[in-house]
Amino acid sequence: MVQVEVSAVVAAARQLMLAGQWGVARGLLAATQAAEPADTRRVALALAEVSVDEDFARQTQSGTAALEALGRAVETLPDATTRWDAALLQLRSDYAPALFSGAAELGDSLLAQALVLRDTAPDDGRAGMAAFYAGAIADNLLADSATAFTHYTEALKRGETAADDLVISLALRHLGDHAHTAGDLELARAQWERSTELRQKIGHLLGALAQQVLLSVLLKTEGDEAGARALATEVNRWAGQAGIPFIEKQTAAMLD
């Protein structure tokens, strides 16, 4: 039996997750035999993150078992930061189906949870991620753009303080959408391009494709119909091959 540091396995699994290789990441983690309770908890957290991330990407709801296993691992060996991480994953798991089904009635409850997580986060990176979800919930479930903008701005500030490229990219994506809606195309392009670059830097396939969809929208707004169509065509092809149905459908609609 080959012995490998669990931290290295978890890091590899997370990179596979960002690359859209959820099944490979899950297989790697499932094959990992942790010798210490702390490592068992770490693997459980990684498995739950992979499952929740895949559920969002593929619009499935199969992460329940992984979240329950994580809960048991935290109960066996309590840890405040892991408990916070588990609560954020549960929020993400609850938010995704509400987003895709338009379940606005869940908005107030989910927003309250996001704000508690922001206020109890152990560091700026985590606080920034919670602030981002507060913004997304306000925006997409409650149609409260002013509140959403405030939370996105906080998420950007926290992300920059923590040098967390993922949090920064998420905040910029949604701030850019606000700029686009307001008609400030120059600011929208700057924010969307920086968000795209950050996602490419960390190897986030779904995120980079989602950003390129927005850049295609921007090209169309700017009057470049041919450029918009060419970019949407490539993103549609990538999304189809990667098995990301909501981006595939979105870009297919743009090509009709």
Question: Tens-of-pLDDT digits for all 256 residues of the chain?
Answer: 456 699 999 999 999 999 999 999 999 999 999 889 999 999 999 999 999 999 999 988 889 999 999 999 999 999 999 999 999 999 999 999 999 998 899 999 999 999 999 999 999 999 999 999 999 999 999 999 999 999 999 999 999 999 999 999 999 999 999 999 999 999 999 999 999 999 999 999 999 999 999 999 999 999 999 999 999 999 999 999 999 999 999 999 999 8
Q: Say what the pTM is.
A: 0.94
Residues for the chain: how many in total?
256
Give the pLDDT confidence score for residue 231 in this predicted structure: 97
Give the pLDDT confidence score for residue 22 in this predicted structure: 96
Measure the CA–CA gap between 3 and 215, rounded to whole angstroms: 45
Measure the CA–CA gap between 156 and 170, rounded to whole angstroms: 8
Helical residues (DSSP H) of 141-204, grouped into ranges: 145-162, 165-181, 185-201
Helical residues (DSSP H) of 59-164, grouped into ranges: 64-76, 80-101, 107-120, 124-140, 145-162
Residue 88 tokens, joined: 């954020």
Long-range CB pairs of 222-230 (<8 Å, 24+ gap) are: 222/185, 228/254, 229/254, 229/255
